[in-house]
Amino acid sequence: MQTQSPSLIERLVNVPVIPVLEFSSVDEALHVSEALIGGGLPVLEITLRTPVALDAIKAVAAAFPQACVGAGTVLTAADLQAVGNAGAQFAVSPGLTPALAVAAQGAGVALLPGVATASEAMAAMEAGFKFLKFFPAEASGGVPMLKSLYGPFAQLRFCPTGGIDVARAPSYLALPNVVCVGGSWVVPKDAVAKGDWARIRTLAQEAAALRKSA
């Protein structure tokens, strides 16, 4: 059962950080995305946590065709269809249900499902997924947990998300089973409130400079 395109991992190999984004307006989404892409982070996860999320995905995907725009907090088959219609190239879910796994078949949107335990990783493997979100990363054991998962699941690759910042990211990126990390630290709320797009661009540059050491 093949539910995941290898092109998603290929796009992320040289992108150490996926910004996890929550927008209150389309205008905000465009400004922040421009700063992130300009700073070297062209893969974006716009979460479905606000009423403008789908409009933001559509606007950012249209304005920045060079970027890889994804949707986060995808919980249902309907969510998956909606983000695909909005132009998302990938979708991220905090967990995985049988219905969502079935919906990912031929959806045209690569799904990055979340897992936090060995049993959940096995279920995701059975559903055809080999690239997984490890969430919530810090609360679920962090780097030691991912090291433990590597033994029995060496074929799996992860994007850990949750509680990761610029200080913690390098230890995750050093792991052989980690492709990239997800995080919101590159878009501080106070910077957004002030319209300090230059600061966000600088933080993006710092994050983009992080590279896997293994």
Q: What per-residue confidence (pLDDT) applies to 214?
A: 42
Note the pLDDT tens digit of each residue in 74-103.
999 999 999 999 999 999 999 999 999 999
Catalytic positions, written as ranges:
45, 133
Residue-range domain boundaries for the chain: 7-206
Note the pLDDT tens digit of each residue in 38-56.
999 999 999 999 999 999 9
- Beta-carbon contacts of residue 57 (< 8 Å; ≥ 6 apart): 46, 69, 71, 83, 86, 87, 88
> Pick from 124, 198, 36, 58: which is nearest to 134 by CA?
124
Q: What per-residue confidence (pLDDT) applies to 67?
A: 95
Note the pLDDT tens digit of each residue in 134-167.
999 999 999 999 999 999 999 999 999 999 999 9
Greater model confidence, 69 or 213:
69
7-206 adopts what CATH topology? Answer: TIM Barrel (3.20.20)
Cα–Cα distance, 80 to 106 (Å, whole number): 11
Q: Torsions phi, psi of 26, nearest 5?
A: -65, -40
Cα–Cα distance, 123 to 144 (Å, whole number): 21
Q: What per-residue confidence (pLDDT) applies to 5?
A: 57
Q: Look at residue 107 and tell me whether its pLDDT is greater than 80.
A: yes
- With DSSP H G I counted as helix, E B as strand and the rest as coil, what are the percentages for the chain, rounded to 5? 40, 20, 40
**Degrees, nearest 5: CA angle 75-170-110:** 30
Let me know: does 205 contact 40? Beta carbons within 8 Å: yes
Q: What per-residue confidence (pLDDT) applies to 10?
A: 77
